[in-house]
Structure 1
Amino acid sequence: MEEELKGLSSSDVAARVARGDVNVDASVKTRSVKQIIASNVCTLFNAINLVLACFVLVTGSYKNMLFMIVIVLNTAIGIIQEIRSKRTTDRLSIIASTKVEVVRDGVRQEIAVDEIVLGDLVVLGRGDQIPSDSTVVHGTCDVNESLLTGESKLVRKEPGSQLMSGSFVNAGTVYAQVTHVGADNYAAKISAEAKEHKAVNSEIMNSLNGIIRFVSIIIFPLGAILFAREYFTGAYIELNQAILSTVAALVGMIPEGLILLTSTVLAVAVVRLSKSKVLVQQLYCIETLARVDTLCLDKTGTITTGKMEVDRVVTLGDCGIDEAHGAFYSIAGADEDPNETAQAIIDYYQDVIPEPGAARVGRKRANGPAQPVKRLGIKRAIPFSSDKKWSGAVFDTGASYAMGAAQFVLGKKYEAVRTQVEELAQNARVMVLARVEGFDGDGKMLGDPQPLALIAIKDQIRPTAEQTIRYFIDQGVDLKVISGDDPRTVSGIAQIVGIPHADSYVDATTLLSDAALENAATCYQVFGRVTPEQKKKLVQSLQAAGHTVAMTGDGVNDVLALKASDCSVAMAAGSDAARNVAQLVLVNNDFASMPKVVAEGRRAINNLQRSASLFLVKTVLSMVLAVCFIVLPWQYPFQPIQMTLISAFTIGLPSFVLALEPNKDRVKGKFLVNVIVRSLPGSITAILAVLGLNIVSYTTLGLDYAQVSTMCVLATAWVGLLLIVRLSFPFTPIRAALIVVVIGGVILGATVFPTLFGIEPFTQPMIVAFAVAALAAVPVFNVLYQAFGSWHAKRQDELV
């Protein structure tokens, strides 16, 4: 044994370093800042707008390049968000310690964690985090593996036992030989998978990208045909005019402001949530959580606080309750280093009455002792041992007691109390108090133990857990509890907080195949003794069944599932790994903050759907008109600067105002479908108005291009106003003020800056034509809006 405890020699260490068997950080690296900037700048979206800007630059009409401001802002926001995400991910580390004690050449020395080599002999004591997977070669200890496995009970480790990196030594000291280093470590594998890049699962983002991809496919062929028709076959249109009108058509097709609006609205939600102690680490997760239909909860840290508390004390036989209280309190208090169970007992009684001579007044628990309890004097204390599973004491009165696991304390007499123990054990940890004759020199019990009382110690449930669970049930969200603890205990706690069908539970150790796991995901509500890999597979199985899944957790054992979920939520008091990989972090560690996040998501999605329809009016209008003016013999009736006027007052300003209003309605339907349905009435009305004005103006009234363009710009703004009015129902003071500002802004641009926006003075024929088009647009728009709205509402009802 002495040879084994000398550790590696210096030459052995040098040889292992040369082979690369060192505990270096070999986890997945995130993209560099340079790569992030390049990926956000060099996009098809930016390339299209840059090409269009270059064409405008050739004409020398610099005012028509103002649309590039929005493009620059879009790119800047994307870069900032991704760099922020990168920095968060780079901080992800499961192994927190930086120094460890090893034995080399027979001498104990302290080295950095990343200097450990394969085969090193490490010395680990109470409170130490295990830096690398190892095997115990000498000594015994109790290890807390809850961060890795979710199992809250301490695990006894003896020579030959395996130690997992990332777990903590709770008691004892051991010498352990390192069996894995670097990327081969258990914790490193979890960390590496957690750091891998994950695509954002956002319906809004996917919809916007789909629109951009569609526009990108048709924009240049359509633009080339339109330009060729105007310049080569049109009625003597100058080159610069042909370029500007073609660019106007193409710019109008791109909803560039919609991406900026989306980022801004979600950024405002982030600020609002921060005031409620919720840290948002990924913008689009707000939207995702509002769409979640399945919520997976980790028991510890989410439903419970992670602490233990006494539930009740039950006396047996003729034992008095005062004797039971005094014995429990005194034995627990005699331990100089109480474990979590003993500490729960101490807290239970200290919260009832202060220690003798103390100045404070303790608060009385609802289920606490009716009378103050005092600690009794102790002649001899028998400390708790994980081997014997009990502790004891000889009091000054001469009475001797033992307290611990009933089977270990009572032995053959356990059958007499089995029924009561098992009843209490459904959702609690149960210990028995027994009177004994005394203890021998080795601390063993003497005589037959006489059971006096049982004490049930349970996980402390968050006061707001039941209310929050009820909220999600009312919203139609399916709840699953996934934990590393005993499934019976988890089921009991789940039933207490009101999770439906919580009595339907399964022990994950019995799920030996992926098929069994997938089947269990839909059949059970409570899962116990689940490994980190199984948690991840459960989430993926639910996703494969078509569910949008959110996962809450606080330990390293939750990291893989958090990463796999559509929306991940961690408690700030949890592990660094869970916090850094999660999209949402509850800073106040209160699960009750979740409804606020859902409410913010609903406000963002519903308002974005309403506002996005304004952008799609311009996109659909520009596409259809571009096709029409390939056939018609006239010049496309807009220039880029005129589209800027329309975008600013009938799209940009109202969309931002409407998108930031309160809105807690449940999210219904698909984002893109909802937006298109709302936009089509305005698009169709505007198309008809523009085509009608062109036909009448050129064939009957004999107006020139500048006059026709002026009427088309104002007619499009008018239709945009009609849509804003409908979207503003019911009216509020801010919505009424918005309509006034929109009208005033368009009039101001047309009258004060006519040259900038290419607005011509109205003649009598122009007044008549515009008035007829504007009046006709009102009933056409309202009929279309009502028809599309009724069809869409009926379709949504059918899909529910």
Structure 2
Amino acid sequence: MPDQASAAASLPQGLSSQEAAARLAQDGPNQLPGSAPKSTAAILREVLTEPMFLMLLAAGGTYLALGDRGEALFLLGSVAVIIAITLLQERRTQRALEALRDLSAPRALVVRDGAEQRIAGREVVCGDLLVLHEGDRIAADALLLDGQLEVDESLLTGESVPVAKLPAAQLFASTVVTRGVGLARVQATAGRTAVGRIGADLAATEAPPSPLQQRSRRLVRALGALALLLAVAQVLLGWWWNGRPLLDSLLSGIALAMALLPEEIPVILTVFLALGAWRIAQLQVLTRRITAVETLGAITVLAVDKTGTLTQNRMAVTGLVTPARHWHAEGAAELPEDFHRLVEFAMLATPGDPFDPMEQAIQRFGHDWLRGTEHVHDGREPVFEYALSGEILAMTRVYTSTAPALHLLATKGAPEAVADLCHLDEARRGAIRAQVEALAECGLRVLGVACGRWTGQPGRAQAWPPSQHDFDFEFLGLLALADPPRPEVPEALAQCRAAGVRVVMMTGDHPATARAIARQVGLSERPEVLTGGDLEALDDATLRERLRRVDLCARLKPAHKLRLVQLLRAEGAVVAMTGDGVNDAPALRAAHVGIAMGERGTDVAREAAALVLLKDSFAHIVAAVAQGRRIDDNLRKATRFVFAVHVPIVTLALAPTLLQWPALLLPVHIVLLQLLIDPACAIVFEAEPEAADLMRRPPRPVTDSPFALKALRLPLLQGLGIAALLLAAQAWLLAQGWSAAQGRAVMLGALVPCVLLLILAQRDPARPLWRRAPAANPWLRPMLAAVGLLLAALLGLPGLRDLMRVEGAGLPTLAAIAAVLALCLAWLELLRLLGPGRAARRRRPC
């Protein structure tokens, strides 16, 4: 029998790094043709077909017809500015999305320079050796060199039954290994693979719009239709009722339509969600579906596995138990002979190069304590395997022996399942249960180990028995494995409690182990544990009632997790769930936010999930939830600002026609204001830091829309109040004999700083406007400088004054602007004192 060193030496060495780099340069990256980033020409086409752009052209043409070349050139010149801003925003968003695509690219385990390396799937080249495990998505077309696999090829064939693969079999890119371990040599990559020849439709498919995006599109369409109707009414009223020239009335109508169109809303959603996903990636959490960013802020239940999420996933065998005695690794100098057979069959029941951390711990323990004995069988391969299944929580590997018809059986699994396979009497089972309970109460994971013999020659007169129950086993003992909790978990759990997020442990471990770990990390004070057996015995109504008072679920199968997620959703919970295995994929899809383990998870789980943890830690999940809440909070602030700032603009564009006043706002004024409003929406609010009490608020309802009237009541009142004050000031100025140009100077001179006031008003309802520190947001000071420069240019530059049809800023004008601003500030503060700000101040910590 070959030893470990000779077995390793006989393995192929794979390509060298230099060979791989040369082939990658020659053949190109291993990726299917997909949707390319937007080109500059495509962005220009989008801008040129926007309603706002078309209205700018119409206004520019109207100014030319009136002979106002300055205004026409200003409007047409503003098109270049708008295009430049759009390009910058698109490029920033595109960079964020490209960074996410790089992170989310499939990974592959290859042999290079004689060692296993995990690389991005796009770096796989012809000639590479792929190391394949259960749950891996095959990165390229390849030839199986060694091992036995079962592969799901339904993507290509439509056949749902996995296909058995033996050495020399063909493997295809994008198919999934459902069972086994193998080594394969890459034969084709990228578009030269079977799936690549079929077409690029899979890679180019775009996700449907999210509920928030759908609601925003409906809102923009509705407001666009309203803008068109009111603009037409404005033109007709100005022309027929007020007796204005038709072209002047047309300018007023265009200004009203421009004021009503909330073209910032789609920009906010695109920028916030894309950059939000990029920010979440900085927390070691990859967003595979951008729409998940919306849902993070509404999560009410986190359903998490124990191993690797709450614990460190650093398994180590700490103790052994046979019917006769116990042994503890700590402080031991040697392993007594009584335990050699137990460890030997535990190793035989485990793959020699395992992927699972628990199986790695078993092999590591065996090599450390049985080195130099006849009980280590490196290189010995089974002739048949019975995999762990939902019906039997144990796995058996079958080996040949010196006698041709005699086979050795090595089994490990859940102690109760192994005891059942051994057909033990109730007294012996009770003794094993007591041993398991004692170990599990210490937070240890416990496995049962058994051995057996079977006489037969499959393939001639008989087949392998259909079930593990058809064998006779001898119970050898128990292995106890420790996996210490992560030190950051207790604080993260406390954050969840403060945020109103319930944490439910869903694990396949023993109930006592789950209870012990939950006690150590402070997950729950409730000792009751719901087991997989309980689930199978309860109907949905009873289980829903039980689930309301249970935080720990143990001995779960993948189907149990799916049922629990569905029941939680039916109860109205917004569920995020973690998973890592092939069988976890249905539950990950069923959850509102599926979260796959990036370090130990399978490709299937990662592709089914919306988020992938690049570091498998519960604290990173909580950090992502906090970031999701911040993104949602800032998006709502930006939405409130858009509506608050548009109300006075719309009012000043519409009211003069109804009151038979001279026009106050013209298209050139709207464009000037948009130079402030657009960056405020897309840049300033996106960079807003999270509120101090963000993780002390309850989760928002998942149906809560930022466009609902309840959410917009305060900003609408803010905007209406400012509009009323500006109109009242204009009425007073006209009564005092001020000209239209002087009144317009006061209106614009007050409206430009009001943009900044409305930005500040949305930031923190618990603080007065002048105490909302700009230092926390890096873009507030540049915005303040931009407002100051624009105001100074508007009132101080003769050319711009003429263009905007305003008179110079004398002391009376500046005094009037200051008075109006003081009244606007007082109105915003009054609303803060009487509105949500009062409740926010009560909640604010000392």
**C-alpha contact 2:283 2:624 (8 A) present in aligned 1:** no
Matches within 5 A, 1:490-501: 491=514, 495=518, 498-500=522-524, 501=526
Answer yes or no: is 1:63 the counterpart of 2:43.
Answer: no
Q: For residue 683 of structure 1, what is the aligned residue in structure 2? A: 719
1:592 to 610, 614, 619: 619
1:224 to 232, 236, 242: 232
Q: What does the per-residue CA deviation read over 1:65-88, in whole Å, with 9 as the maximum and x for residues that have no partner?
A: 537546677788889999999999
Go from structure 1 to structure 2 and tell me whether the alpha carbon gap of 1:31 and 1:201 turns closer, same or farther (over 3 Å shift).
farther
Answer yes or no: is 1:505 the counterpart of 2:531.
Answer: yes
Q: For residue 631 of structure 2, what is the aligned residue in structure 1? A: 604
Q: For residue 713 of structure 1, what is the aligned residue in structure 2? A: 748
**C-alpha contact 1:304 1:459 (8 A) present in aligned 2:** yes
Go from structure 1 to structure 2 and tell me whether the alpha carbon gap of 1:615 and 1:375 turns closer, same or farther (over 3 Å shift).
same
Q: What does the per-residue CA deviation read over 1:289-348, in whole Å, with 9 as the maximum and x for residues that have no partner?
A: 132112233556645677854253346546776415655556656899547676433423
Go from structure 1 to structure 2 and tell me whether the alpha carbon gap of 1:455 and 1:490 turns closer, same or farther (over 3 Å shift).
closer
**C-alpha contact 1:319 1:453 (8 A) present in aligned 2:** no
Shift of 1:243: 2.7
Shift of 1:407: 3.6
Shift of 1:221: 1.0
Answer yes or no: is 1:281 the counterpart of 2:288.
Answer: yes
Q: For residue 53 of structure 1, what is the aligned residue in structure 2? A: 56
1:124 to 144, 165, 174: 165
Q: TM-score if structure 2 supplies the norm length?
A: 0.64
Separation in 2 of the partners of 1:116 and 1:31? 22
Separation in 1 of the partners of 2:339 and 2:541? 50
Q: Secondary structure at the match of 2:835?
A: helix
One-letter amino acid matched to 1:234? N
Q: Secondary structure at the match of 1:313?
A: strand
Shift of 1:464: 5.2
**C-alpha contact 1:551 1:562 (8 A) present in aligned 2:** yes
Separation in 2 of the partners of 1:127 and 1:474? 57
Separation in 2 of the partners of 1:319 and 1:785? 68
Q: For residue 244 of structure 1, what is the aligned residue in structure 2? A: 251
Shift of 1:540: 4.7
Matches within 5 A, 1:12-411: 47-59=50-62, 60=64, 61-64=72-75, 66=78, 68-69=82-83, 98=141, 124-125=165-166, 166-169=177-180, 197-202=207-212, 205=213, 208-209=216-217, 211-237=219-245, 239=247, 241-298=248-305, 302-303=309-310, 309-314=316-321, 316-317=323-324, 322-323=335-336, 324=338, 328-329=342-343, 338=352, 343-348=360-365, 373=369, 375=371, 377-378=373-374, 407=419
Q: For residue 754 of structure 1, what is the aligned residue in structure 2? A: 801
Identity between Structure 1 and Structure 2 (%): 19
Answer yes or no: is 1:476 the counterpart of 2:487.
Answer: no
Separation in 1 of the partners of 2:687 and 2:267? 14
**C-alpha contact 1:506 1:524 (8 A) present in aligned 2:** no
Supply the RMSD in Å over aligned alpha carbons.
5.7
The structure whose RCO (Cα within 8 Å, separation 6+) is larger is 1
Q: Secondary structure at the match of 1:568?
A: strand
**C-alpha contact 2:576 2:594 (8 A) present in aligned 1:** yes
Separation in 1 of the partners of 2:267 and 2:721? 26
Separation in 2 of the partners of 1:551 and 1:629? 56
Choose 728-737 or 787-796, whichever is displaced more: 787-796
Choose 329-338 or 651-660, whichever is displaced more: 329-338
Shift of 1:261: 4.3
Shift of 1:94: 5.2
Q: For residue 832 of structure 2, what is the aligned residue in structure 1? A: 785
2:733 to 680, 692, 697: 697
**C-alpha contact 1:309 1:460 (8 A) present in aligned 2:** no
Unpaired runs of at least 5, structure 1? 1-28, 103-109, 133-163, 172-190, 356-372, 395-400, 443-447
Shift of 1:639: 1.9
One-letter amino acid matched to 2:773? F
Choose 543-552 or 450-459, whichever is displaced more: 450-459
Answer yes or no: is 1:643 the counterpart of 2:670.
Answer: yes
Go from structure 1 to structure 2 and tell me whether the alpha carbon gap of 1:511 and 1:166 turns closer, same or farther (over 3 Å shift).
farther
Separation in 1 of the partners of 2:532 and 2:812? 80
Go from structure 1 to structure 2 and tell me whether the alpha carbon gap of 1:796 and 1:725 turns closer, same or farther (over 3 Å shift).
closer
Separation in 2 of the partners of 1:491 and 1:127? 44
1:424 to 429, 436, 441: 436
**C-alpha contact 2:366 2:376 (8 A) present in aligned 1:** no
Answer yes or no: is 1:568 the counterpart of 2:594.
Answer: yes
Go from structure 1 to structure 2 and tell me whether the alpha carbon gap of 1:195 and 1:221 turns closer, same or farther (over 3 Å shift).
closer
Aligned residue pair count: 674
Separation in 2 of the partners of 1:523 and 1:613? 39
Shift of 1:700: 3.5
Q: What does the per-residue CA deviation read over 1:534-572, in whole Å, with 9 as the maximum and x for residues that have no partner?
A: 755654543443322223223343334434433332222
Q: Secondary structure at the match of 2:661?
A: coil
**C-alpha contact 1:556 1:578 (8 A) present in aligned 2:** yes
**C-alpha contact 2:579 2:596 (8 A) present in aligned 1:** yes
One-letter amino acid matched to 1:455? L
**C-alpha contact 1:126 1:169 (8 A) present in aligned 2:** no
**C-alpha contact 1:85 1:282 (8 A) present in aligned 2:** no
Q: What does the per-residue CA deviation read over 1:375-433, in whole Å, with 9 as the maximum and x for residues that have no partner?
A: 46328979988689699999xxxxxx998666489765783463244541667343369
One-letter amino acid matched to 1:697? L
Unpaired runs of at least 5, structure 2? 1-31, 65-71, 107-120, 122-135, 146-150, 183-200, 329-334, 387-394, 402-407, 413-417, 458-471, 764-768
Separation in 1 of the partners of 2:571 and 2:376? 61
Q: Secondary structure at the match of 2:180?
A: strand
Go from structure 1 to structure 2 and tell me whether the alpha carbon gap of 1:343 and 1:76 turns closer, same or farther (over 3 Å shift).
closer
Go from structure 1 to structure 2 and tell me whether the alpha carbon gap of 1:38 and 1:302 turns closer, same or farther (over 3 Å shift).
farther
Answer yes or no: is 1:741 the counterpart of 2:758.
Answer: no
Q: What does the per-residue CA deviation read over 1:258-285, in whole Å, with 9 as the maximum and x for residues that have no partner?
A: 5434544444444444333332334453
**C-alpha contact 1:646 1:713 (8 A) present in aligned 2:** no
Go from structure 1 to structure 2 and tell me whether the alpha carbon gap of 1:756 and 1:537 turns closer, same or farther (over 3 Å shift).
farther
